[in-house]
Amino acid sequence: MTIVPQMNLSREALEPYWLPFTANRAFKANPRLFVGAKGMYYTTAEGRQLLDGMAGLWCVNAGHGPERITAAIREQAGHLDYVSSFQMSHPLAFKLAERIAGLTPKGLDRVFFVNSGSEAVDSALKIARAYHRARGDAGRTRLIGRAKGYHGMGFGGLSVAGIARHRRDFGPLLADVDHLPHTYNREHQAFSRGQPAWGAHLADELEALTQIHDASTIAAVIVEPVTGSGGVLPPPKGYLERLRAICDRHGILLIFDEVITGYGRLGEAFGSTALGVTPDIITCAKGMTNGAVPMGGVIASTKVYDAFMAGPEAAVELMHGYTYSGHPLACAAGLAAIDVYEELDLFTRTATMSAYWEKQAHSLQGEPHIVDVRNIGLLAAIEIAPRPDEPGSRSAAAGNLCYEAGVLVRTAGDALVLSPPLIISEAEIDRIFDTIRQAVRAIA
Ligand code: PLP
């Protein structure tokens, strides 16, 4: 029997757990196990400290384990462990919705709770279709996503998403879906700082789609304000504004999937505010509870909510929800997370720190294999030229070297993607980019 030394777990004991988005056999032969986390650092099972360059999975915005959030969860568990949100609720859910409405762009103030980003997206797509139906416009069912988009793993989110490898294995997805082109063009945009100057015209592809499908059949367009998992692609200057104008012209709802950009990543509570474009619906998750308890949300405009409120008062207006919607532990964590963000003035700090982040990220220009650096807020992608016929292998090698050197980064295709906790210091920023520098110098 082989023993995984650091955990005293046999190789066989690793078998029953089928890990998501993981090469299970490779992982189980060489497991990366974490046993603790505090602030900017993970502790591995071998007792190593790892600088977290990914805020967990784009979620631990205030760093790991703020005491206030831990205490709030502990205390809530002792009072009310669970109550359904169907025809009943509990006070914290209302308090949290009110606090969230105070963070969103004006007019986006009705919050529907779910348990993940995927559920938030599927819920938002359903709300968009049901909104049109409630207004007597039931013919509007078509949903428009975008190439390179990531919207979680439900069938709805996957249908509007634009990463072929994610969609390939799962058979026919939703009908009535189309996609905009992505906004990345290295020739025109390489080494842009923040929003690239080139590419606003790509929004006009939405106008082109209305000529194929007829605008009156389109319910909603969903995009991430900054494409995240698809490789950190900030929107070209003017692009989102143009998308907004086309949606307005044709009565199409605009959904911003802010699962990553929500809760401070771009230096404002929501990316919509940071980028100056207001959608009709926002989806969020991740930073909502600082990653401590699963939670997601759909934040709708008053206009969208009110359209549902026209029928008989005793009738359920939206036949949708989940057992754990508005879970008391998640609400307690969500309120405490906002307290922590406000106490640390974390969103303003992010806006300030992102200038240093940008400078250090771009100091990698000219290092071996690096063909692009992109950044916005406290997000960055370092694009590494692939080895011939081996897409992803060089970036994976660079990521592994960083891991060995004590810095956790994530690979997305040929890019290293970075999304650190927003509490990161200048010295920690230096360490992340210096580690990447050493890694790319060391690999063939
Ligand atoms: N939407 C976006 C933009 C995301 O980045 C993610 C996850 O990374 C999701 C949706 C799905 O969230 P979850 O994994 O919580 O279902």
Model confidence pLDDT, tens digit, residues 232-282: 999 999 999 999 999 999 999 999 999 999 999 999 999 999 999 999 999
pLDDT value, residue 4: 55
Q: How confident is the model at residue 11 (pLDDT cuts 50, 70, 90)?
A: confident
pLDDT value, residue 207: 98
Residue of 281, 286, 288, 298 to test ligand 1 pocket, by largest number of atoms within 8 Å of CB: 286
* Residue 53 Cβ < 6 Å to ligand 1: no
pLDDT value, residue 259: 98
pLDDT value, residue 50: 98
CATH number for the domain whose boundaries are 11-62+345-442: 3.90.1150.10
Residues of the chain with pLDDT > 70, as a percent, come to: 98
Query: Ligand 1 centroid vs 151 CA: distance in angstroms?
Result: 5
Residue nearest to atom 7 of ligand 1 (CA): 152
Say if residues 299 and 123 touch (Cβ distance below 8 Å): no
Whether the pLDDT of residue 2 is over 80: the answer is: no
* Residue 148 Cβ < 6 Å to ligand 1: no
* Residue 229 Cβ < 6 Å to ligand 1: yes
Q: Is the dihedral of CA 325, 153, 57, 117 positive or negative?
A: negative
pLDDT value, residue 405: 98
pLDDT value, residue 363: 98
CA distances to 27, 273, 377 from 268, rounded to whole Å, are 37, 6, 9
Residue 43 sits at φ, ψ, to 5 deg, of -110, 125
* Residue 258 Cβ < 6 Å to ligand 1: no
* Residue 145 Cβ < 6 Å to ligand 1: no
Model confidence pLDDT, tens digit, residues 78-114: 999 999 999 999 999 999 999 999 999 999 999 999 9
Q: Is the dihedral of CA 205, 200, 224, 20 positive or negative?
A: positive
Residue nearest to atom 12 of ligand 1 (CA): 117
> For residues 337 and 422, what is the distance between their CA atoms, to the nearest angstrom?
13
Say if residues 283 and 246 touch (Cβ distance below 8 Å): no
Strand partners, 390: 387
Query: Ligand 1 centroid vs 152 CA: distance in angstroms?
Result: 4
* Residue 222 Cβ < 6 Å to ligand 1: no
Residue nearest to atom 6 of ligand 1 (CA): 152
pLDDT value, residue 7: 65
pLDDT: is 4 or 385 the higher one?
385
Say if residues 357 and 86 touch (Cβ distance below 8 Å): no
Q: Which amino acid is at 328?
A: P
* Residue 227 Cβ < 6 Å to ligand 1: no
Q: Is the dihedral of CA 231, 189, 380, 386 positive or negative?
A: positive
Picking from 284, 288, 333, 280, the residue whose alpha carbon sits closest to that of residue 307 is: 280
CA distances to 109, 140, 251, 278, 318 from 133, rounded to whole Å, are 21, 8, 13, 23, 11
Whether the pLDDT of residue 340 is over 80: the answer is: yes
DSSP SS3 for 432:
helix
According to CATH, the topology of domain 69-343 is: Aspartate Aminotransferase; domain 2 (3.40.640)
* Residue 159 Cβ < 6 Å to ligand 1: no
Q: What b-and-e string marks burial along 59-92, b requiring 16 or more CB atoms within 10 Å of the CB? A: bbbbbbebeebeebbeebeeeeeeeebeeebbeb
From the alpha carbon of 296, which atom of ligand 1 is closest? 15
* Residue 228 Cβ < 6 Å to ligand 1: yes
Q: Stretch 392-420: mean pLDDT, rounded?
A: 97
* Residue 162 Cβ < 6 Å to ligand 1: no
Whether the pLDDT of residue 308 is over 80: the answer is: yes
Residue-range domain boundaries for the chain:
11-62+345-442, 69-343
Q: Across the chain, what does the average pLDDT equal?
A: 97
Model confidence pLDDT, tens digit, residues 28-87: 999 999 999 999 999 999 999 999 999 999 999 999 999 999 999 999 999 999 999 999
> For residues 212 and 40, what is the distance between their CA atoms, to the nearest angstrom?
49
Query: Ligand 1 centroid vs 56 CA: distance in angstroms?
Result: 13
Residue of 150, 282, 295 to test ligand 1 pocket, by largest number of atoms within 8 Å of CB: 150
pLDDT value, residue 3: 54
pLDDT value, residue 181: 98
